[in-house]
Structure formats: C-alpha cells, structure tokens
Amino acid sequence: MTTATELTFLHRYEPATTPGRPPLLLLHGTGGDENDLVPLGEALSPGAALLSPRGKVLERGMPRFFRRLAEGVFDEEDVRRRAGELATFIREARAAYGLAQPIAVGFSNGANIAAAVLELHPDALAGAVLLRAMTPLAAPPTVDLAGKPILIVSGAADPIIPAADVGALAARLRKAGADVQHETLPAGHGLTQSDLALAKNWLERRT
C-alpha cells in the first residue's frame, strides 16, 4: 500500500500488478475516505492500479467532494470548483505515478463529482462507473464525450435519487456522445452484490 499526501488531495495509491488494465479512480460517498472503496476497486478489476482521493469538504465531520445545501440540493458553484480541483489532481497523479487516463468508479457523492468532471473536464477521465448518481449541474456547458464509456447503476427503491433525475443524467451524457449503459437494480441507495457483478462485467469488457 502507498498512501501519499504530497499531491493536492490526501489519497491512497495502489500500483498495478496486472498489465493492461486501466487504472481506477475511486471516489467515495459521504462519510467515506481514501480507504473506503479500495476493496471494491480490487474486486472490480483485480490487479489494476487504484487511485483513491479523500474529499476535501466536511459536512458535520464527514468527508465529501463538494458542498450541498440540503439533501439532493447541491451548491453548484462549489461543484464546479471542486470538479476543477479533482481534474487537476488527476493530472498530477498521472504524472507522479505514470498512469494512463483513469476510469472513475464513484458511489453517491463520489458518482456525482465524477459526473461533474465528465461534464466540465472531459479529458480527465477515460470513462466512469456511476453508482447511485444524480445530475450534479442544472445547466452544464456543451461537452464532447464522443465514445466515452459510462455505466450508471441505479436502485429502484433508492429513497434519495428520483428515477427521473438519473434518467435525465443518462440522457444528457448520451446526447454529449457518450456510450452510456444505464441499469436499474432492485435495490436501495446502498450497494449490493448485483452492483459488483454488473460493474465487474462492464469493466472486463474494456480490458
């Protein structure tokens, strides 16, 4: 394990042990940290390099990647600023560790910041697995995501994310040219083994 603090985000980095697999950028949900999704990343793509930053925003002591005004109501100015910071960190980490363009794997708040990075800094990511994502911005700029692979996995019984909201996100990313696969599982907001199996299969098709 390598834990580093010299870049702009406190983060954990696990070098690749299997050549040819795209690195994964692991983005935790509210209250997680740089260790939270490492086991998920190891299960999704064994041997891939893992880059896992800790969100810089604290909400009642819980790390997040951007501020929110209420449940499901985001501070969009902060979303834009934090997405820029994360894109900068990705460039720094790629240079520091010799990484290819990563695929983001984000859960909840982490999925939302990944979606914001895609819409604001599309060159930062090779693709994304968005687990329990919402639309991060009401009116993002026009962006070219031509051919960029994106998996969105929703929970049919998720009490936090309206189906119409995530449907709008999927439609918006498709309109930008992304290759979007949107699946809805019989689950709530938490992750299940079905999420793991679906995301693992999706990633395996890209290695």
Which residue numbers are catalytic? Answer: 108, 158, 189
Q: Which two tokens stand for residue 198?
A: 């679906």
What's the CA gap between 94 and 139, in Å, rounded? 29
Q: Is the torsion defined by CA of 153, 157, 159, 161 positive or negative?
A: positive
Q: CB of 65 within 8 A of CB of 55? A: yes
Dihedral pair phi/psi, residue 103, rounded to 5°: -100, 125
What's the CA gap between 201 and 207, in Å, rounded? 10
Q: Quote the DSSP letter at residue 199.
A: H
Burial tier of 5 (Cβ tally within 10 Å: 0-12, 13-18, 19+): exposed
